[in-house]
Structure 1
Amino acid sequence: MSDVHMPSAPDTLLLAPTDRVPNNPRLPVLLYRSVARGADGEGTASAFERLFAANGWPAQWRAGIFDYHHYHATSHEVLGVARGSATVLLGGPDRERVEIAAGDVVVLPAGTGHCRVRCSPDFLVIGGYPEGQQDYDLQTAPPTDGIRARIAAVPVPPQDPVQGRDGSLVRLWAAG
């Protein structure tokens, strides 16, 4: 069985746009370390599903992270690592390499490029989107003005997927 630990503050990354990936020039990526702990991946996966749902970011899938650069122009995304570890590239080619492991949570603002570089054989992620943004898109092409406008129009959710209504996302993204 997993237990959930509420970290006081996430690490943040503000990623500048590139010609290939729009990123989000005003909202930082949030990286929470060791949020859920469990004896097995199933317990951690279930803990993330309950936590995200309780905070208005219902989980939609259990899988890995694609091994190609992509982003979402119509939704923010939360990734909870239930099992294993990986290196992900955030922001597009030649940008930020981040190591993530079981228990970690990554919150990606709309437009943020992400790609799995490597992962352990048991790597499992729980993915979700804020309520009202579950109809996410998958973009791989360089951004157009229309895509940038859609990203800018995605509303900031009223809750942090980890910390809830008074969480870091609410404070940090409100300033963006």
Structure 2
Amino acid sequence: MPVKDQIKNFAKKLVEDQPDAAALRGLVRARKPTAMHFRDDGIVPNNPRFPALLYRGAVKLNGRRFPPEVVIDTLFDTNGWGRSWRDTVYDFVHYHSQVHEVMGVARGTARIECGGIKGRILNVKAGDVLVLPAGTGHRLIDSSRDFLVVGAYPQDGTYDECTDTRQRPDAVKRIAKVRKPKTDPVLGSGGPLLEAWRTAQPR
């Protein structure tokens, strides 16, 4: 999301009651994510090294004290993924060539296309977390009315938004330079993302 959305969300977070470390640990489930490799389809580059990761039911959102979007936002921030936003997902194919992105579903359900038109359509619901390595095409197909996502980015990387095939040659070069993050957005320094992306082979 653009910087203005991140600034608006930052202001909101300053006045929210957020779970402390102990409460947060009780709201996270240690899940092994599903890894999905998407090939370059000629339009969307996707990522040649790192798979997209889907954590099903990674966050327990049935508590009444903290709103689900606050729980997910705090979780990502605690694990070093910041510059967060809260919104839906764009309904047009786009990708980020200079940064990885995590999206946690706080409310509702949706179908999200990942990997471009030759990729996969994923059914996601509240509590699911999707990590998209730089270059991974994504768009919203449809959703429930209450659908809400929290998005965030690792410390390294610059937000950009690629939608035009004319950007593709330069985007491919930028994607290759985006480094692996230092932490897993769901499970921190010992999370499965680090192993999944360490052992990933070029495709």
Q: Which residue of 1 aligns with 2:154?
A: 130
Q: How many angstroms apart in 2 are the aligned matches of 1:38 and 1:6?
A: 11
Indicate whether 1:15 and 2:38 are aligned. Answer: yes
TM-score normalised per structure 1: 0.93
Q: Cα distance, 1:59 vs. partner?
A: 4.8
TM-score normalised per structure 2: 0.81
Give matches, 1:70-109, under 5 Å. 70-109=94-133
Indicate whether 1:24 and 2:24 are aligned. Answer: no
Q: How many angstroms apart in 2 are the aligned matches of 1:59 and 1:104?
A: 20
Q: Match for 1:119: what amino acid?
A: S
2:34 touches 2:55 (CA, 8 Å); kept in 1?
yes
Q: Cα distance, 1:36 vs. partner?
A: 1.6
Indicate whether 1:151 and 2:175 are aligned. Answer: yes
Q: Cα distance, 1:43 vs. partner?
A: 1.7
Q: Cα distance, 1:122 vs. partner?
A: 0.2
2:31 touches 2:56 (CA, 8 Å); kept in 1?
no
2:95 touches 2:135 (CA, 8 Å); kept in 1?
yes
Q: How many angstroms apart in 1 are the aligned matches of 2:156 and 2:103?
A: 17
Q: Cα distance, 1:144 vs. partner?
A: 2.8
Q: How many angstroms apart in 2 are the aligned matches of 1:66 and 1:72?
A: 13
Q: Which residue of 1 aligns with 2:195?
A: 171
Query: Whose Rg is larger?
Result: 2
Q: How many angstroms apart in 2 are the aligned matches of 1:166 and 1:94?
A: 32
Q: How many angstroms apart in 1 are the aligned matches of 2:55 and 2:108?
A: 16
Q: Match for 1:112: what amino acid?
A: T
- RMSD of Structure 2 on Structure 1 (CA): 1.8
Structure 1 residue ranges without an equivalent (≥5): none
1:49 touches 1:59 (CA, 8 Å); kept in 2?
no
Q: Cα distance, 1:145 vs. partner?
A: 2.7
Instruction: Give SS of 2:122's match.
Output: strand
Q: Cα distance, 1:28 vs. partner?
A: 0.4
Q: How many angstroms apart in 1 are the aligned matches of 2:67 and 2:35?
A: 27
Number of positions where the alignment pairs a residue of Structure 1 with one of Structure 2: 175
Q: Cα distance, 1:7 vs. partner?
A: 2.5
Structure 2 residue ranges without an equivalent (≥5): 1-18
Q: How many angstroms apart in 2 are the aligned matches of 1:88 and 1:130?
A: 22
